[in-house]
């Protein structure tokens, strides 16, 4: 009888000693926006220092706002060997550039600055002649990467802001996975990547889709469960200009004309395998417009999209493409 009793008690002892995963939340400011990282860890490790180190390295590689970053040196035509982060983003941008036939083009950087949407303030009068002169050096197809060195014309200015933030989300996500974290959500300025589920709530990670509020307020009209995917949103309601006639211009520059994009699309949310691609495609779709995005996604079932746009009567409409998983 004593042996039987021990066999019955031991499983209970082992079970009672098992640790429960703890929810860890780390937040702060980076890339001119905020970040919020949540993950469950049995050891309750706080990776704040590791996150800060990764952010530092990414900024050092690709921030146009830092004068000593690799990308700033490249734009000044200083000889620089880029790191693996830069190379990954460069290749990702090339993929989206080709797939969208140049709608996403990192060499539009000087036009972004000229319209005061970028890292450098424009100090000269902007007219059609100036725009035409800057457009001469737009074309990512003429930029290469050979043995860690960027090959470009000296006047070409590269700007990865449309894709680098999403890439940073991926870097944090992959770091967490390297530490055997199975349930997490990473949010940098609204760009997201999630894995597993919210253990406490016993359901997937619930995220909201923003309303296109031009007054700077934030509200959500739709929610969804983000499962083992990445989500990025681009919106003209975030950064825009209004001219003397009341016309609203998006911060996204048309890579074919050099002028701010005139679009009725107010917001685009894209789901992809990683956040770098989701971020880049969301920016491109903002400029492409409803019809072209619909046609594009017929050929790309790996992407899902949700669009908020104004119809001809200026009323808001929405469009779900490739089964975007709204609740």
User: What pLDDT score was predicted for residue 237?
Assistant: 60
User: What pLDDT score was predicted for residue 109?
Assistant: 81
| Residue 132 predicted with pLDDT over 90 | no
Region 137-154: what's the mean pLDDT?
95
User: What pLDDT score was predicted for residue 98?
Assistant: 97
Q: Which of 75, 14, 39, 27 is nearest to 200 (CA)?
A: 39
Residue with tokens 């860690």: 148
* Distance between CA atoms of residues 161 and 171, nearest Å: 16
Region 173-182: what's the mean pLDDT?
98
More confident residue, 109 or 167: 167
pLDDT tens digits, one per residue of 221-247:
789 999 999 999 987 665 555 555 555
More confident residue, 216 or 42: 42
User: What pLDDT score was predicted for residue 242?
Assistant: 59
* Distance between CA atoms of residues 150 and 144, nearest Å: 6
Region 193-205: what's the mean pLDDT?
95
User: What pLDDT score was predicted for residue 10?
Assistant: 47
* Distance between CA atoms of residues 257 and 134, nearest Å: 10
Least confident of 128-132, 177-181, 303-307: 128-132
| Residue 131 predicted with pLDDT over 70 | yes
User: What pLDDT score was predicted for residue 280?
Assistant: 97
User: What pLDDT score was predicted for residue 122?
Assistant: 60
Q: All domains of the chain, ordered by start, with CATH? A: 22-63+80-321 (3.10.520.10)
More confident residue, 63 or 249: 63
Bridge partners of 91, per DSSP, are: none
Bridge partners of 304, per DSSP, are: 271
pLDDT tens digits, one per residue of 12-31:
444 445 678 999 999 999 99
pLDDT tens digits, one per residue of 79-107:
999 999 999 999 999 999 999 999 999 99
How many percent of the chain have pLDDT more than 90? 67
User: What pLDDT score was predicted for residue 195?
Assistant: 98
How many other C-beta atoms lie within 10 A of the C-beta of residue 239? 11
Region 170-191: what's the mean pLDDT?
97
User: What pLDDT score was predicted for residue 1?
Assistant: 41
Region 170-176: what's the mean pLDDT?
98
Whole-number mean pLDDT of the chain?
A: 87
Write down the pTM of the prediction.
0.87
User: What pLDDT score was predicted for residue 190?
Assistant: 92
Least confident of 90-94, 143-147, 250-254: 250-254
User: What pLDDT score was predicted for residue 6?
Assistant: 42
User: What pLDDT score was predicted for residue 255?
Assistant: 82
């Amino acid at each position: 009888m004593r042996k039987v009793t021990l066999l019955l008690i031991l499983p209970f002892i082992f079970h009672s000693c098992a640790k429960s995963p703890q929810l860890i939340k780390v937040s702060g400011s980076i890339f001119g926006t905020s970040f919020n990282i949540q993950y469950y860890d049995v050891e309750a490790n706080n990776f704040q220092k590791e996150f800060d180190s990764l952010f530092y390295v990414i900024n050092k590689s690709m921030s146009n706002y830092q004068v000593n970053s690799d990308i700033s040196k490249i734009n000044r035509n200083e000889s620089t060997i880029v790191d693996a982060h830069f190379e990954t983003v460069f290749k990702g941008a090339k993929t989206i550039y080709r797939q969208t036939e140049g709608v996403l083009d990192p060499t539009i950087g000087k036009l972004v600055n000229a319209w005061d949407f970028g890292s450098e303030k424009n100090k000269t009068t902007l007219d059609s002649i100036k725009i035409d002169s800057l457009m001469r050096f737009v074309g990512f197809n003429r930029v290469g990467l050979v043995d860690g060195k960027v090959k470009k014309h000296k006047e070409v200015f590269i700007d990865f802001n449309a894709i680098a933030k999403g890439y940073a989300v991926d870097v944090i996500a992959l770091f967490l996975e390297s530490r055997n974290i199975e349930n997490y959500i990473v949010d940098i300025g609204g760009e997201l990547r999630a894995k597993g589920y919210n253990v406490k709530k016993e359901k997937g990670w619930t995220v909201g889709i923003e309303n296109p509020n031009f007054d700077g307020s934030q509200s959500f009209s739709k929610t969804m469960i983000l499962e083992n995917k990445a989500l990025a949103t681009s919106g003209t309601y975030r950064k825009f200009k209004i001219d003397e006639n009341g016309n609203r211009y998006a911060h996204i520059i048309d890579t074919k004309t050099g002028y701010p994009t005139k679009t009725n699309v107010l917001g685009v949310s894209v789901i992809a395998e990683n956040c770098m691609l989701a971020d880049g495609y969301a920016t491109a779709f903002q400029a492409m417009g409803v019809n072209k995005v619909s046609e594009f996604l017929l050929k790309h079932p790996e992407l899902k999209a949700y669009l908020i746009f104004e119809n001809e009567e200026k009323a808001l409409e929405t469009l779900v493409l490739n089964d975007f998983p709204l609740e």
